[in-house]
Copies of this chain bind each other. A is one copy, B any other.
């Protein structure tokens, strides 16, 4: 279920810009916020297609841009050369991402110390921080122990999203 807060925020954004509420936009927004998964435009397209919806890619891209502008979605860089969208910034406005170097699995985390520290450093340099993005690439315990990540195998079986690696 899409959180009501999303619906409200999106609707008021649409209204404030003099845009229109349409079936396409609604179905895209609902589809995205039914889960908290990250996705690339292409993944979203595939998932929606499998679910029977067939938005055109153009509309998808246009709607993603709107959602970013409305601050409901953030573009993040997972280091794989693709644009990934993250729907979880409403709940956790300043979380960061940890990416497994083996399987590419993404772990979100929040840490107040980090946020404060980034702010302090910026101020010391004479800047007022607007936005910070931190990505830590790391090896999980099992990867270190076994030489490969169990998520890698598991994800392959389940056909999940994986390769946060460049070709």
Contact = CB atoms under 8 A, between A and B. Distances in A.
Interface of A: 77, 79, 98, 100-101, 107, 109, 111, 113-114, 117-118, 121-122, 125-141, 144
A138 B130 contact: yes
Contacts of A79: 133
Nearest to A140: B127
Given A77-B77, A140-B127, A121 B132 contact: no
B139 A130 contact: yes
B129 A137 contact: yes
A89 to B, nearest CB: 15
B137 A121 contact: no
Q: How many copies of this chain are found per oligomer?
A: 2
A interface: dominant SS: strand
B122 A129 contact: no
Contact of A137 (B117, B130, B136): B130
19 contacts: A77-B77, A98-B125, A109-B125, A118-B134, A118-B136, A122-B138, A126-B141, A127-B138, A127-B140, A127-B141, A128-B138, A128-B144, A129-B136, A130-B138, A131-B136, A132-B135, A132-B137, A133-B134, A133-B135
Contacts of A135: 132-134
Nearest to A131: B137
A114 B125 contact: no
Nearest to A134: B134
